[in-house]
A and B are shown apart, each in its own frame.
Chain A
Amino acid sequence: MYLSHLSLTNYRSYEQAEIELKPGPNILIGANGVGKTNVAEAMNYLAVQHSHRVSNDHPLVRIGQTQALARGRVHRGEQAVSIEYEINPGKSNRVAINRGAPQAARQAYGIFKAVLFAPEDIELISGQPDIRRRFMDDLIVQMRPALGDARRDYDRVLRQRNALLKSGRKPGSWTDEHESTLAVWNEHLARAAARLINGRLHALRLLAAPTSEVYAELSNGNKPAGFAYQSTVPMATGQHAEVPDEAVLYTAIVEALEEAYQSERDRGVTLVGPHRDDLVVTLGPAPAKGFASHGETWSLALALRLASYRVLAKDDPNPDARPVLILDDVFAELDAARRARLAEMTRDAEQLIITAAVSADIPPELTGTHIPIRMREGISSSGEHLESLDSLKLTEANYFEDAEGSSDE
């Protein structure tokens, strides 16, 4: 699939932008801070409904505004669909599909699929577990959009169950009523948790082989890359050649909740469930976190992203359904050999979005549409498309002058 048009309103540094895109490589060129990454972020938002840089939507809305709009025209073979997200921080986000009535944003999962790789992805290996949970969930909602509902149900049950545990935390405040209501929330939590964990384990089963393949291609190393799910539900931990079904997981989750009963009451918070699980990435026999070098960490993160791309492409084998691949500012971090290898590995994407500060960072193999991004008085805009790299080089110097005093990237 590919995006032919991206429209942004009050999104970060963009007041109003209309950006035309083409199949194949689209290279967004501009100095640091002019707003290239904001475009990459918005495109990825169309697919996964969150930023890759911040954990909530507040920073996505231009200062002084209450709502941002991000609209994309998605092409899948002959079909074209427009999706427009209303980003309303602190309130529910909504989406209009083909300019229809706005509905819950999660209804749009799966319409546009994308995989983004960015410098922040180093955190996939070295960061906190929530980053890896988000990585897994981005993959499952794109593969099985109905799991977006399961995740929302889970979050709501979790908030209610935590409120109940908290309300009975003071000594002497736990009543029979708390006890009988807790049993109800256990049922509902276990049901939603079983769907989510089952979805994650299915995705991880598919992700394992491509991850080690891509890592081997990238590193030429002798240490194999792998991972295992680390769960608060003991039976879900590990690598699963056969994924336990939802009914089996449900029973295991109810048991784990009973096991954790006293500690949950002491701490007043839910300790069992997918919201506390993790993905342990390994390099050879050791966990990558804390043991891998900077270069290995970087290659592992890239391997996880490219493997996600391959899993999504294989999940829906129609070539028109391949996700868009977004590489945000990553070539500058790689040596020439790895640049060339990455260019080779991304060749089969129908559309590739690349951001870079200077055209010299882009491997010569990747020729395509060049889109200059500039900023004036804090407002970003996209310039005329340039088909030839030479004309871009001639104008590059001019765009650099516009970048001063800017921020937000």
Chain B
Amino acid sequence: MYDGAVQSLIDELGRLPGIGPKSAQRIAFHILEASESDMIALADAITDVKTKIRLCEICFNVSEHKVCAICRDEHRDTGLMCVVEESQDVIAIERTRTYNGRYHVLGGAINPIGGIGPDQLRVRELLTRLQDESISEVILATNPNLEGEATATYLTRMLSPVGITLSRLASGLPVGGDLEYADEVTLGRAFEGRRKLGETL
């Protein structure tokens, strides 16, 4: 155990994803030895993110404003909606420059082991948007792993009776992986080759 402030820094760092006790200690001592201005800049960045950044009221993407830049953009096709698990997936898809519609961020995927069902995701908000906005096609872009596929199946079952065109990203994405790690070209192709559900099934 170290003196109060150092130990509480180690404890807080250790709570971050992917950081074990040893890494937490190493980072803490790096912070201690680094220049004061650098570390204050880091602390400010964290403070800014937590005070200025919030979730977009419409699509739940991270945003500096009540409504995010994508939802505010008038050049976007408001008839297209892409449903993703996390904000990182929005960034990955934006990088491909093949998609010009809007998004809906669910906040995760169905995962009973993790205690996550549709009620813990923004499914109700999605249904409200589909009622209020004039959307003609919903693209299900959940991750190509078991939980993402199950979430897509769930949404397909929910939305099929609504009469909106549903499509799923084309295969070719690495199975079992995350969208955010797919390269731009592969992800772009998966978008262009998306498969309308109900047409072939």
Taking Cβ atoms with an 8 Å cutoff, the residues of A that contact B are 153, 156-157, 159-161, 163-164, 167, 177-178, 180-181, 183-185, 187-188
Contact = CB atoms under 8 A, between A and B. Distances in A.
B115 A181 contact: no
Interface of B: 110-113, 115, 117-119, 146-147, 149-150, 153-154, 157-158
A181 B113 contact: no
Contacts of A157: 146
A252 to B, nearest CB: 19
A169 to B, nearest CB: 12
Given A153-B146, A160-B147, A184 B117 contact: no
B149 to A, nearest CB: 7
Given A156-B146, A157-B146, A180 B118 contact: yes
A-B complex: 9 closest residue pairs judged by Cβ atoms: A163-B112, A164-B112, A163-B113, A184-B154, A184-B153, A177-B117, A156-B146, A160-B112, A184-B150
B161 to A, nearest CB: 13
A17 B170 CA distance: 47
Contact of A159 (B113, B119, B154, B157): B113
B153 A188 contact: yes
27 contacts: A153-B146, A156-B146, A157-B146, A159-B113, A160-B112, A160-B113, A160-B146, A160-B147, A161-B112, A163-B112, A167-B112, A167-B115, A177-B117, A177-B118, A178-B117, A180-B154, A180-B158, A181-B110, A181-B118, A181-B150, A183-B157, A184-B150, A184-B153, A184-B157, A185-B112, A188-B146, A188-B149
B154 A181 contact: yes
A187 B153 contact: yes
Contacts of A180: 118, 154, 157-158
B154 A160 contact: no
Contacts, number: 44
A184 B110 contact: yes
A164 B149 CA distance: 16
Nearest to A157: B146
Given A153-B146, A185-B112, 14 more contacts: A157-B146, A160-B112, A160-B150, A163-B112, A163-B113, A167-B112, A177-B117, A177-B118, A180-B157, A181-B110, A181-B118, A181-B154, A185-B150, A188-B153
Nearest to A192: B146
Contacts of B115: 167
A205 B115 CA distance: 41
B173 to A, nearest CB: 15
A163 B116 CA distance: 11
Nearest to A167: B112
Contacts of B157: 180, 183-184
Contacts of A156: 146
Nearest to A160: B112
Nearest to A183: B157
